[in-house]
Amino acid sequence: MSTPTNQTSPIAVGLIGECMVELQRQADGGMRQGFGGDTLNTAIYLNRLCRREGVAIDYLTAVGDDPLSQAMRARWREDGVGDGRVRVLMDRLPGLYMIQTDAQGERSFLYWRGESAARHCFDGPGADELLAALGDYHTLYLSGISLAILTVEGRERLLEALCQARSRGTRIVFDNNYRPRLWPDAAEARRHHEALLGMVDIALVTWEDDVAVFGFAPPEQLFSHYAGLGVGEVVVKRGARSCLLHTADGRAEVSAETVEQVVDTTAAGDAFSAAYLAARLRGGEPEVAARWGHRLAGSVIQHPGALMPLAAMPSMPALR
């Protein structure tokens, strides 16, 4: 990934999305409170891999002015993620979700996010400054969830701002995370995914999610469709199976790493995306980046929760 002309060192990366309050039921019936979100997980892992490489990570969202929102932002800063461009909405609160685990260890989620601050991040004249600032970034990263949670107004304004940012040289990276409950139907999701994909440089695609949105059968259909939309680099994530790459140099398949014991698959896809992007930002070729994606995802699933201990992180060497 080359550095755009509008960007000077350090490389600035902005991740757009929603962080929520997390409640997890404990064995004694109590609740453990934390924070979580797909793009936030990616932001934290990206910072861990790039913090000594001249890459600055910002999280771009909206929060309230309540104690939980303030604690949330403090936690991001502790994890090395900047909050200087977070929009504060005085009459809003963060969304919330609760994790429940059944007797077999399977996790399920209950969400309360309909009126969260992040949903209104790009609404109204108060969003103008944040939208204009998107063009200041070397790279912007967002997911299908980032798109889905927004109001109709906010989504259209974000897409317009991303188009303007890309015209200034900003690179756009999209992880297609699809949550059917957040869209009226798959057709609506498909329409907005395609609008965004027309300006995406790297697409990090979870195969099952893409099948649900587009109905593709073989991966060749996906690659052909994305190429027609102008996406130059496509990575198809397939869980424990190999991932598939389609770039200007052709197609490749990169095997996943063998994991002896899977403890918790939470955030595996987010971690893969973080490591892939980190490797590309640091000069690694797509196949090298895919191997790092598998390596970090394989490490994450051997630990409970979305964020593995910092001490257990694999160390990414110089890749240039």
Tell me, what DSSP letter sits at residue 32?
E
The residue whose two tokens read 């991932």 is 243
Residue type for position 82: G
- Cα distance between residue 59 and residue 44, in whole Å: 10
Cα 261 to the center of its chain, rounded Å: 25
Has 210 been annotated as catalytic?
no
Q: How far is CA 210 from CA 10, 133, 180, 248, in A?
A: 34, 30, 12, 21
- Cβ contact 137:38 at 8 Å: no
| Structure tokens given for 17 | 């999305």
- The values of phi and psi at residue 155, to 5°, are -65, -45
Going from the C-alpha of 79 to that of each of 82, 95, 175, 265, the distances in angstroms are 9, 20, 22, 21
Report the distance separating Cα 282 and Cα 233, nearest Å.
16
Distance CA 180, CA 318 (A): 39
Tokens (6 digits) for 274? 């973080």
CA-to-CA distance for 87 and 91, rounded, in angstroms? 12
User: CA-to-CA distance for 209 and 206, rounded, in angstroms?
Assistant: 5
DSSP one-letter string for 163-183: HHHHHTT-EEEEE----GGGS
Closest CA to 141 of 303, 304, 275: 275
Residues near 31 by beta carbon (within 8 Å), at least 6 away in sequence: 23, 24, 25, 98
Q: Identify the three-state secondary structure at position 210.
A: helix
Residues noted as catalytic? 270
